[in-house]
Structure 1
Amino acid sequence: MKEVLPSPSPSVRKLFYGYAALVLLCLGVGIGTGEYWLIGAPVLIWVAAQAFLDFRPLFWLLLITIPLSTNILLPGGFGTDLPTEPLAIGLTGLLILHAAKHWPSYDTKAFGHPIAWLLYLHVGWILFATVFSDGFVISLKFSLAKLWYVGAYFLVPLLIIKTPKKVSVLVHCILWPLLFVAVQTLVRHGAYGFSFAMQHKTMFPFMNEHVSYAGCLATFAPWLIFLGWWLKSKGKKNWWLSMVILPIWLAAVYFSFTRAAFVALFMAGGAYFIIRWRLLKPALALAVIGGIAVSVYFVRNNKYLDYAPNFDTTITHEEFNSLITATYKLEDISTMERFYRWVAAGHMVPYRPYTGWGPGTFLENYKGYTVNAFRTYVSDNEGQSGIHSYYLMTLVEQGFPGLIIFLVYILGALIVGERMYHQQTDPAARNAIMAALLAMLVVDAFNIINDQMETDKVGAQYLLNLAILIGMGNYRPGPAEEELSQKST
Structure 2
Amino acid sequence: MPSIIHSKWFNWFAISSFFLCGLWSLLTQEPYWLAVPFILVLAFPLFQFVVTKTEQLYWLLLIVLPLSTEYNFSSTLGLDLPDEPLLIILSVAVLASILYQPTSYRFIFDSPIFRWIIAYLIWMFISLCYAPNQWLAIKFLLAKTWYILPLVLLTALIHQRSGNFKKTALYLCIPMLLVVIQTLTRHAFYGFDFVAIKKTMGPFFRNHVNYSAMLVCLIPIGFLIHHFTQDHRKKKFIKAGIAIALIGLFFAYSRGAWLALIVGVAGYWLIKKNMLGKAILVGLITMIISIVALINNNRFMQFAPEHDQTIFHENFSEHLNATIGLKDISNAERIHRWVAGVRMVAEKPWTGFGANSFYNNYQPYTAAPFKTWVSNNPEHSTVHNYFLLIALEQGIPALLLFAGLLIYLILQSQQLYHQFQNNYYRAIALVLGIILLMITSLNFTSDLIETDKIGGLFWLAAGLLIGLKYHLKIEKETIAI
TM-score normalized with structure 1 length? 0.86
Aligned to 1:383: 379
Pairs within 5 Å for 1:46-445: 48=47, 50-106=49-105, 108-232=106-230, 237-445=233-441
Classify the secondary structure of the residue corresponding to 2:415: helix
Q: Verify the 8 A CA contact 2:264 2:438 in the aligned structure 1.
A: yes
Classify the secondary structure of the residue corresponding to 1:164: coil
Q: Verify the 8 A CA contact 2:351 2:395 in the aligned structure 1.
A: yes
Instruction: Give the Å deviation of 1:473.
Output: 2.7
Q: Verify the 8 A CA contact 1:426 1:477 in the aligned structure 2.
A: no
Partners of 1:473 and 1:158 lie apart in 2 by: 9
* Letter of the structure 2 residue corresponding to residue 122 of structure 1: Y
* Letter of the structure 2 residue corresponding to residue 376 of structure 1: T
Classify the secondary structure of the residue corresponding to 2:203: coil
* Letter of the structure 1 residue corresponding to residue 90 of structure 2: L
Partners of 1:67 and 1:437 lie apart in 2 by: 21
Q: Verify the 8 A CA contact 2:71 2:79 in the aligned structure 1.
A: yes
RMSD in angstroms over aligned alpha carbons?
A: 2.0
> What is the CA deviation profile of residues 432-482 of structure 1, one whole-angstrom value per residue up to 9, with x for unaligned ones?
111111111110111011100011111101111121122123215989xx9
Q: Pick closer, same or farther for the CA change 1:115–1:52 going to 2, 3 Å.
A: closer
> What is the CA deviation profile of residues 317-375 of structure 1, one whole-angstrom value per residue up to 9, with x for unaligned ones?
10111111001211111000101111111111122111111122112211121111111
Partners of 1:249 and 1:47 lie apart in 2 by: 39
Partners of 2:45 and 2:79 lie apart in 1 by: 19
> What is the CA deviation profile of residues 222-280 of structure 1, one whole-angstrom value per residue up to 9, with x for unaligned ones?
11111112222xx5741332222112111111111111111111111111111111101
Classify the secondary structure of the residue corresponding to 2:393: helix
Q: Verify the 8 A CA contact 2:2 2:101 in the aligned structure 1.
A: no
Aligned to 1:448: 444
Partners of 1:468 and 1:197 lie apart in 2 by: 37
Q: Verify the 8 A CA contact 2:2 2:97 in the aligned structure 1.
A: no
Q: Pick closer, same or farther for the CA change 1:454–1:257 going to 2, 3 Å.
A: same
Partners of 1:109 and 1:46 lie apart in 2 by: 30
Aligned pairs, number:
438
Say which one has the larger Rg.
2
Partners of 1:229 and 1:460 lie apart in 2 by: 24
Partners of 2:235 and 2:127 lie apart in 1 by: 48
Partners of 1:128 and 1:161 lie apart in 2 by: 32
Classify the secondary structure of the residue corresponding to 1:397: helix
TM-score normalized with structure 2 length? 0.87
* Letter of the structure 1 residue corresponding to residue 133 of structure 2: G
* Letter of the structure 2 residue corresponding to residue 239 of structure 1: K
Classify the secondary structure of the residue corresponding to 1:72: strand
Q: Pick closer, same or farther for the CA change 1:49–1:188 going to 2, 3 Å.
A: farther
Q: Pick closer, same or farther for the CA change 1:454–1:245 going to 2, 3 Å.
A: same
Identity of aligned residues (%): 31
Aligned to 2:22: none
Q: Verify the 8 A CA contact 1:111 1:158 in the aligned structure 2.
A: no
Structure whose residues are more often helix by fraction: 2
Q: Verify the 8 A CA contact 2:341 2:388 in the aligned structure 1.
A: yes
Partners of 2:219 and 2:469 lie apart in 1 by: 21
Partners of 1:282 and 1:105 lie apart in 2 by: 37
Q: Verify the 8 A CA contact 1:69 1:206 in the aligned structure 2.
A: yes
> What is the CA deviation profile of residues 16-49 of structure 1, one whole-angstrom value per residue up to 9, with x for unaligned ones?
xxxxxxxxxxxxxxxxxxxxxxxxxxxx999645
* Letter of the structure 2 residue corresponding to residue 96 of structure 1: L
Q: Pick closer, same or farther for the CA change 1:190–1:238 going to 2, 3 Å.
A: same
Q: Pick closer, same or farther for the CA change 1:369–1:163 going to 2, 3 Å.
A: same
Which stretch of structure 1 is more off in the superposition, 156-165 or 402-411?
156-165
> What is the CA deviation profile of residues 122-169 of structure 1, one whole-angstrom value per residue up to 9, with x for unaligned ones?
222122211111221211111111000101211110110123310110
Q: Pick closer, same or farther for the CA change 1:477–1:137 going to 2, 3 Å.
A: closer
Unaligned runs of 5+ in 2: 4-42
Classify the secondary structure of the residue corresponding to 1:80: strand
Q: Verify the 8 A CA contact 1:429 1:473 in the aligned structure 2.
A: no
Classify the secondary structure of the residue corresponding to 1:67: helix
Q: Verify the 8 A CA contact 1:69 1:81 in the aligned structure 2.
A: yes
